[in-house]
């Protein structure tokens, strides 16, 4: 029986199977039932060998991940990689040094490589996503050495657009590259290889490129029209591998699942030359936005849970569908399973949708916060305001709502003093909520900033300088890589954002301290007394405060549970003129009980009683 191997090398999260492999295996299995498809989750074997904590730390740091396998690819350059490793691993608490870890990775990788008959395989497919470049190149080389006749195809986000073409040119172990969605080109390639003597499809396949192909830089891709046409992913090989581990090494994995592909946030930037968030390059692979039907989503969740007896599901979508999300999560809730869901969402997700998500089992949402300054959010083309971000952070602090994680992008090119000042001011109001992670901006290949550097005050864009440590100069010069370097105020930006970084660190410490006691309440919450509320404000210095609001003050405060413009507040409470309402709102803002942006106001305290639905106006 002919066979195809699908390979995912380190460093994806070890505790979930690869959605790329699961999806491709199921698709090829459906269309070529006479072909054996085997998925190799090499990263799980390597995580097992290194220890899960060590693997996790390395996998969270791209330059560490890439340098370990670069050392195996180019052993004569190991000193160079080691220097990069030492710089990047300071303070991470890794117990082993570069040499020991490199040996452990090599040993575990060779065990995977030597335990499979690659020479009996027609085709090996490597899924190359973020952080998997050098490990995939190492596996391509080693597989070819063991089976010179095998054909190797690479795909995944690191092969999108010109990055894939450059890989094909620079590494002869790779025979084909798929740009864009993988299912249809991989099927066409496998079908043609199955026909004796055919090395490539007779007709060109959009998205499939190989040496000698005419016009390979054409950006076409092959995509399924309907996501419902995808079979349910096949994660069997991951679970078989995990089941082979001794009991102390097994765990309950998270199951990845897609509801959609692409992103619907396509607002053009002011120049009209690019769209979506200015820093984002997550959608180079996809053309447009497609979703599964709600029925199919519910069926797939049910099937995956029943098949694997696991309740944690991570939606891998760049962005969940905007159409009737509350109804979708209500359908998921009706499954009656105690799911633990994760998803990425926009900051404009309304409170009723968050509540529906919470009821369905959404435990964590990664929210596209990115900034707490509206002027910076505009530069990021995020289509949100600091007020939107504050509102979702507050809602997610409410008991029963999903927990929020999010980033604060510092050092964005063209950000200035006023962005920093606005951020520092707004941070004062965000302190009761789950802290954001401060990250430095990095320039992604294909992002709007990359496409229009002058608009952001940067120039001389090239592959990031750290790649010079990983690859010989003769190679790196040919490559087009995911992380790009640039000139233009990098040091100034780091200086500018330093106070924000300090404040975010302090925020994290205070939040942890205030939540150290088990069952601790939200830092800023209110209790309902009928015609009054009591707001409890816990403070890091221990100087806690309570505030009682009665009658109309209570009503105005509760009316502003979602952001309200002053005009609407005055309309809602016509018996009280602006001369009485505005001073009250301003006093609330002074006490950090409300947030104000322009003429919009938002109450910051969340209901303390668990299970009490927030009032709906």
For the four alpha carbons of 93, 97, 100 and 105, in that order, the dihedral sign comes to positive
Which listed range, 71-79, 88-96, 276-284, 417-425, lies at the site for ligand SF4 (CB under 6 A)? 276-284
Residue from 277, 482, 556, 585 in contact with ligand SF4 (CB under 6 A): 277
What does 492-529 look like in DSSP terms, one character per residue?
Answer: HHHHHHHHHHHHHHHHHHHHHHHT-STTPPPSEEEEE-
Q: Which DSSP symbol is given to 275?
A: B
Nearest CB to ligand SF4, comparing residues 276 and 607: 276
Q: Which of 481-496 are b and which e, b meaning 16 or more Cβ less than 10 Å from the residue's Cβ?
A: bbbbbbebbeeebeeb
Nearest CB to ligand SF4, comparing residues 242 and 278: 278
Q: Considering the rule CB under 6 A, would residue 476 count as an interface residue with ligand SF4?
A: no
Which listed range, 53-61, 114-122, 250-258, 274-282, lies at the site for ligand SF4 (CB under 6 A)? 274-282
Read off the tokens for 136: 């995939």
Min separation Cβ 316 and ligand SF4, Å = 12
Residue from 22, 125, 276, 406 in contact with ligand SF4 (CB under 6 A): 276
The DSSP H or E segment spanning 120 is: none
Min separation Cβ 308 and ligand SF4, Å = 28
Dihedral angle computed from the Cα positions of residues 267, 270, 272 and 276, in that order, rounded to the nearest 10 degrees? -30
Min separation Cβ 268 and ligand SF4, Å = 12
Nearest CB to ligand SF4, comparing residues 129 and 556: 129
Residue among 214, 216, 190 nearest 201 (CA): 190
Which listed range, 80-88, 179-187, 273-281, 321-329, lies at the site for ligand SF4 (CB under 6 A)? 273-281
Nearest CB to ligand SF4, comparing residues 160 and 606: 160
Would you call 590 exposed, middle or buried from its count of C-beta atoms within 10 A (0-12, 13-18, 19+)? exposed
Nearest CB to ligand SF4, comparing residues 256 and 614: 256
Which listed range, 139-147, 275-283, 502-510, 576-584, lies at the site for ligand SF4 (CB under 6 A)? 275-283
Min separation Cβ 271 and ligand SF4, Å = 16
Site for ligand SF4 in 202-261 (CB under 6 A): none
Residue from 14, 176, 210, 265 in contact with ligand SF4 (CB under 6 A): 265
Nearest CB to ligand SF4, comparing residues 406 and 432: 406
Q: Considering the rule CB under 6 A, would residue 282 count as an interface residue with ligand SF4?
A: yes
| Tokens 């050098």 sit on residue | 134
Q: Considering the rule CB under 6 A, would residue 406 count as an interface residue with ligand SF4?
A: no
Min separation Cβ 388 and ligand SF4, Å = 13
Q: Under rule CB under 6 A, how many of the chain's residues touch ligand SF4? A: 11
254-260-265 Cα angle (round to 5) = 120
Rounded CA separation 415/224 (Å): 40
Residue from 319, 353, 376, 458 in contact with ligand SF4 (CB under 6 A): 319
Which listed range, 222-230, 278-286, 512-520, 582-590, lies at the site for ligand SF4 (CB under 6 A)? 278-286
Would you call 19 exposed, middle or buried from its count of C-beta atoms within 10 A (0-12, 13-18, 19+)? buried
Min separation Cβ 433 and ligand SF4, Å = 21
Rounded CA separation 333/255 (Å): 18
Instruction: State the angle between helix axes of 98-114 and 62-73 in degrees (0 to 180), rounded to the nearest 10.
Output: 70
Q: Considering the rule CB under 6 A, would residue 280 count as an interface residue with ligand SF4?
A: yes
Nearest CB to ligand SF4, comparing residues 190 and 280: 280
Nearest CB to ligand SF4, comparing residues 237 and 258: 258
Q: Considering the rule CB under 6 A, would residue 101 count as an interface residue with ligand SF4?
A: no
Rounded CA separation 123/234 (Å): 19
Strands, sheet with 362-370, edge to edge from the N-terminal-most edge strand: 255-257, 312-315, 340-345, 362-370, 403-410, 437-440
Min separation Cβ 441 and ligand SF4, Å = 13
Q: Which of 156-195 are b and which e, b meaning 16 or more Cβ less than 10 Å from the residue's Cβ?
A: bbbbbbbbbbbbbebbebbbbbbbbbbbbbbbbbbebbee
Min separation Cβ 357 and ligand SF4, Å = 17
Site for ligand SF4 in 325-384 (CB under 6 A): 346, 368
Find all residues with CB under 8 Å of 603, minimum gap 6, and list them.
557, 558, 560, 561, 588, 593, 594
Read off the tokens for 343: 């998803």
Nearest CB to ligand SF4, comparing residues 286 and 595: 286
Rounded CA separation 473/59 (Å): 25
Task: Compute how many other C-beta atoms are within 10 angstroms of the C-beta atom of residue 292.
Answer: 23
Q: x/- string (CB under 6 A) for ligand SF4, residues 596-615? A: --------------------
Nearest CB to ligand SF4, comparing residues 318 and 564: 318
Nearest CB to ligand SF4, comparing residues 153 and 436: 436
Residue from 260, 318, 349, 423 in contact with ligand SF4 (CB under 6 A): 318
Which listed range, 10-18, 166-174, 279-287, 429-437, lies at the site for ligand SF4 (CB under 6 A)? 279-287
Cα-to-chain-centroid distance, residue 363: 16
CA distances from 444 to 317, 352, 452 (A): 19, 34, 12
Residue among 485, 456, 454 nearest 469 (CA): 485
Residue from 46, 159, 263, 430 in contact with ligand SF4 (CB under 6 A): 263
312-315 vs 255-257, strand pairing mode: parallel
Contact residues toward ligand SF4 (CB under 6 A) are 263, 265, 276-277, 280, 282-283, 318-319, 346, 368
């Amino acid at each position: 029986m002919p066979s195809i191997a699908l390979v995912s090398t380190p460093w994806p999260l070890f505790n979930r199977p690869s959605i790329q492999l699961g999806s491709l295996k199921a698709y090829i299995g459906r269309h070529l039932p006479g072909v054996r498809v085997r998925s190799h989750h090499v990263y799980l074997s390597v995580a097992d060998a290194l220890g899960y904590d060590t693997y996790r730390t390395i996998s969270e740091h791209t330059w560490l991940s890439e340098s370990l396998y670069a050392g195996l690819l180019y052993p004569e350059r190991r000193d160079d990689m080691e220097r990069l490793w030492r710089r990047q691993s300071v303070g991470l608490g890794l117990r082993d040094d570069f040499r020991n870890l490199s040996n452990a990775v090599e040993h575990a990788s060779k065990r995977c490589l030597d335990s499979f008959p690659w020479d009996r395989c027609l085709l090996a497919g490597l899924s190359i996503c973020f952080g998997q470049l050098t490990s995939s190149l190492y596996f391509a080389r080693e597989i070819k050495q063991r089976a010179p006749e095998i054909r190797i195809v690479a795909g995944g986000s690191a092969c999108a657009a010109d990055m894939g073409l450059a890989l094909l040119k620079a590494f002869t172990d790779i025979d084909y590259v798929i740009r864009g969605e993988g299912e249809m080109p991989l099927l066409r390639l496998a079908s043609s290889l199955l026909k004796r003597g055919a090395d490539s499809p007779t007709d060109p396949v959009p998205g499939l490129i190989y040496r000698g192909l005419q016009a390979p830089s054409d950006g076409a891709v092959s995509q399924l029209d309907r996501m419902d046409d995808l079979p349910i992913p096949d994660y069997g090989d991951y679970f078989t591998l995990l089941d082979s581990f001794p009991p102390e090494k097994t765990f309950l994995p998270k199951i990845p699942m897609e509801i959609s592909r692409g992103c619907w946030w396509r607002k053009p930037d002011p120049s009209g030359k690019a769209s979506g968030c200015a820093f984002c390059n997550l959608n180079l692979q996809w053309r447009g936005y497609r979703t599964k039907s709600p029925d199919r989503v519910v069926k797939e969740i049910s099937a995956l849970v029943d098949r694997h007896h696991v309740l944690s599901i991570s939606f891998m979508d760049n962005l969940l569908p905007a159409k009737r999300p509350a109804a979708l999560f209500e359908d998921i809730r009706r499954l009656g399973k105690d799911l633990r869901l994760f998803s990425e969402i926009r900051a404009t997700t309304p409170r009723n949708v968050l509540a529906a998500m919470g009821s369905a089992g959404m435990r964590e949402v990664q929210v596209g916060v990115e900034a707490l300054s509206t002027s910076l959010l505009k530069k990021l083309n995020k289509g949100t305001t600091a007020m939107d971000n504050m509102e979702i952070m507050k809602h997610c602090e409410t008991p029963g709502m999903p927990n929020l994680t999010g980033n604060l992008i510092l050092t964005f090119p063209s950000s200035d003093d006023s962005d920093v000042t606005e951020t520092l001011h707004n941070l004062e109001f965000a302190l009761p909520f789950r802290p954001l992670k401060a990250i430095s901006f990095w320039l992604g290949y294909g992002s709007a900033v990359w496409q229009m550097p002058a608009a952001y005050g940067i120039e001389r864009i090239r592959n990031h300088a750290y790649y010079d440590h990983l690859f010989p100069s003769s190679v790196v010069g040919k490559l087009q890589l995911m992380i790009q370097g640039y000139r233009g105020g990098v040091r100034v930006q780091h200086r500018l954002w330093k106070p924000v970084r300090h404040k975010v660190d302090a925020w994290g410490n205070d939040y942890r301290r205030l939540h150290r006691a088990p069952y601790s309440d939200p830092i800023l919450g209110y209790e309902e007394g009928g015609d009054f509320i009591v707001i409890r404000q816990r403070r890091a210095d221990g100087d806690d405060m309570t505030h009682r609001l009665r009658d109309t003050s209570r009503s105005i405060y509760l009316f502003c549970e979602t952001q309200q413009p002053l005009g609407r507040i005055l309309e809602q409470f016509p018996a009280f003129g602006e001369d009485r309402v505005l001073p009250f709102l301003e006093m609330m803002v002074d006490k950090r009980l409300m947030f104000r942006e322009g003429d919009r106001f938002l109450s910051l305290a969340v209901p303390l009683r668990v299970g009490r639905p927030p009032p709906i106006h």
